[in-house]
């Protein structure tokens, strides 16, 4: 096995995307994703049982597609990596079972990895080796956290996280209120472009002096979501039209303002000069521009993977797997469990 440039196949099934990626070292060879998002749209959120069944159906064709795109045969790979948590229990199980079957039948080592760490590691496929330490802001439909990444394969410390809704969840719920389709983030992003971000002064969660004492690096978006709901209801009651673009822009500004403010505060507190933003919400155009604008004034560099690598995919799992193999960590055992609440401090499951 080439330890420097391992060929790794990564499998991701923690939510509604069946992702299979192939990397050699930090070179992306294939990133096949089958999403069940359309099947969840009418429920306004991901339905776990529907996601698990969709993973089962998509797994073999997605593995085949990834190998074909990468121009490899399964027996060429040096290792199999899989998201073992956190995520939806039934969905994770499908990926873990598939990875175990492949690893056992091919006689290859198996690495059960942390989904959040994989969201960080993926950036290496686009921008090269990670600056370590770096500060990571992970924002998606299922998670919102600030992490100190000392070594992406073994030393990640959580500095703060959401105490209620995840950032993407807030985007999805507000979009629903505004009659926009699920998942709502991209629709709010688009609507906001023709609205005013200062039209409505929505609350910035956990930013008061008192809240900062206990929750300096934590987030809260449920108060903001309720404030938007009340504002829209009041408009509807008075018979006036709801200015969708203004609500979208003002809501988006409130979320991005808090995310960027707290991320930069955390970077300053930790003495870190590199901020990495990942997860589905990192695709948001305002989040990207606001982070760049404020960080450059502080001399902090910002790295954001391209949108396709920000949302859940198998390449991120393969990227983390490849770093783990290169750094010589021992593989997981073949009876690796799926752990829906795997803490971010466990980058590699035993
Ligand atoms: O990382 P991801 O694909 O899956 C989870 O792990 O949850 O993130 C999906 C989330 C959804 O909530 C979606 O609305 C949000 O990312 N999202 C966005 C944008 N694109 C996707 N939120 C804001 N602006 C966007 N452009
Ligand atoms: Zn994710």
The CATH number of whichever domain residue 315 belongs to comes to: 3.30.420.40
Task: Quote the number of domains for the chain.
Answer: 2
Residue 280 is given by DSSP the state G
140 lines ligand 1 (CB under 6 A): yes
Question: Can you tell me whether residue 27 is helix, strand or coil?
Answer: strand
| Cα–Cα distance for residue pair 131/276, rounded to 1 Å | 9
171 lines ligand 1 (CB under 6 A): yes
192 lines ligand 1 (CB under 6 A): no
- Boundary residue ending a domain (288, 304, 320): 304
Whether residue 2 lies inside any domain: the answer is no
Q: How far is CA 197 from CA 188, 192, 202, in A?
A: 12, 8, 10
Same-domain check for residues 285 and 336? no
Same-domain check for residues 162 and 200? yes
Question: Can you tell me whether residue 283 is helix, strand or coil?
Answer: helix
For residue 66, report the distance from its CA to the centre of ligand 1, in Å: 23
Residue of the nearest CA to atom 14 in ligand 1? 185
Same-domain check for residues 179 and 163? yes
Same-domain check for residues 25 and 118? yes
- Boundary residue ending a domain (304, 320, 339): 304
> By percentage, how much of the chain surpasses pLDDT 90?
92
Whether residue 277 lies inside any domain: the answer is yes
Residue 3's pLDDT is: 46
- pLDDT bucket at 4, cuts 50 / 70 / 90: low
Residue 216 is given by DSSP the state T
283 lines ligand 1 (CB under 6 A): yes
Whether residue 1 lies inside any domain: the answer is no
For residue 29, report the distance from its CA to the centre of ligand 1, in Å: 24
pLDDT at 194 over 60: yes
Same-domain check for residues 83 and 151? no
Whether residue 280 lies inside any domain: the answer is yes
Whether 153 contacts 113, CB under 8 Å: no
Q: Which ligand ends up closest to the CA of 309?
A: 1
Whether residue 161 lies inside any domain: the answer is yes
Residue 283 tokens read as 């695709």
312 lines ligand 1 (CB under 6 A): yes
Whether residue 263 lies inside any domain: the answer is yes
pLDDT at 103 over 90: yes
Same-domain check for residues 100 and 58? yes
Q: Which domain holds residue 57?
A: 7-126+309-349
Same-domain check for residues 297 and 315? no
pLDDT at 2 over 70: no
Q: Which atom of ligand 1 is nearest to the CA of 119?
A: 1
Q: Which residues line the annotated binding site for substrate?
A: 138-142, 172, 185, 189, 284
Mean pLDDT of 257-263: 98
pLDDT at 1 over 60: no
Whether 59 contacts 22, CB under 8 Å: no
DSSP element (H, E) containing 146: strand 144-151
Same-domain check for residues 170 and 315? no
Among 48, 87, 311, the mutation site with the greatest number of ligand 1 atoms within 8 A of its Cβ is 311
Same-domain check for residues 142 and 160? yes
Q: What is the pLDDT of residues 14-45, one digit of tens each?
A: 998 999 999 999 999 999 999 888 888 888 78
Same-domain check for residues 146 and 267? yes
Same-domain check for residues 146 and 285? yes
Q: Which ligand ends up closest to the CA of 168?
A: 1
Whether residue 95 lies inside any domain: the answer is yes
> By percentage, how much of the chain surpasses pLDDT 70?
99
- The whole-model pTM stands at 0.94
Same-domain check for residues 188 and 122? no
For residue 75, report the distance from its CA to the centre of ligand 1, in Å: 34
* Residue corresponding to tokens 């002064």: 201
Whether residue 257 lies inside any domain: the answer is yes
Among 141, 157, 161, residue whose Cα is nearest residue 259? 161
């Amino acid at each position: 096995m080439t330890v420097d440039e391992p060929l790794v196949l990564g499998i991701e099934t923690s939510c509604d995307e069946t992702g299979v990626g192939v990397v050699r070292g930090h070179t992306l060879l294939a990133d096949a994703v089958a999403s069940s998002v359309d099947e969840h749209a009418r429920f306004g959120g991901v339905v776990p049982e529907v996601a698990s069944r969709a993973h089962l159906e998509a797994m073999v064709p997605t593995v085949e597609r990834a190998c074909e795109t990468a121009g490899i045969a399964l027996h060429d790979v040096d290792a199999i990596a899989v998201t073992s948590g956190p995520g939806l229990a039934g969905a994770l199980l499908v990926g873990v079972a598939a990875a175990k079957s492949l690893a056992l039948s091919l006689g290859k080592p198996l690495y059960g990895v942390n989904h959040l760490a994989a969201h960080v590691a993926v950036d290496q496929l686009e921008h090269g080796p990670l600056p370590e330490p770096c500060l990571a802001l992970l924002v998606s439909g299922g998670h919102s956290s600030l992490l100190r990444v000392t070594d992406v394969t073994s030393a990640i410390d959580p500095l703060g996280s959401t105490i209620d809704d995840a950032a993407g969840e807030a985007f999805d719920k507000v979009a629903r209120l505004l009659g926009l389709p699920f998942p709502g983030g991209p629709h709010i992003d688009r609507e906001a472009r023709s609205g005013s971000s200062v039209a409505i002064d929505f609350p910035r969660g956990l930013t008061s002096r008192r809240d900062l004492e206990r929750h300096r690096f934590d987030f809260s978006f449920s108060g903001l979501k309720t404030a938007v709901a009340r504002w829209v209801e009041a408009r509807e009651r008075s018979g006036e039209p709801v200015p969708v673009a203004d609500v979208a822009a003002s809501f988006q500004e409130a979320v991005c303002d808090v995310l960027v403010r707290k991320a930069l505060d955390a970077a300053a507190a930790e003495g870190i000069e590199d901020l990495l933003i990942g997860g589905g919400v990192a695709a948001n155009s305002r989040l990207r521009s606001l982070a760049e604008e404020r960080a450059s004034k502080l001399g902090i560099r910002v790295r954001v993977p391209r949108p396709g690598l920000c949302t859940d995919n198998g390449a991120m799992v393969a990227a983390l797997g490849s770093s783990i193999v290169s750094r010589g960590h021992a593989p997981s055992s073949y009876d690796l469990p799926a752990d829906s609440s795997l803490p971010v401090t466990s980058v590699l499951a035993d």
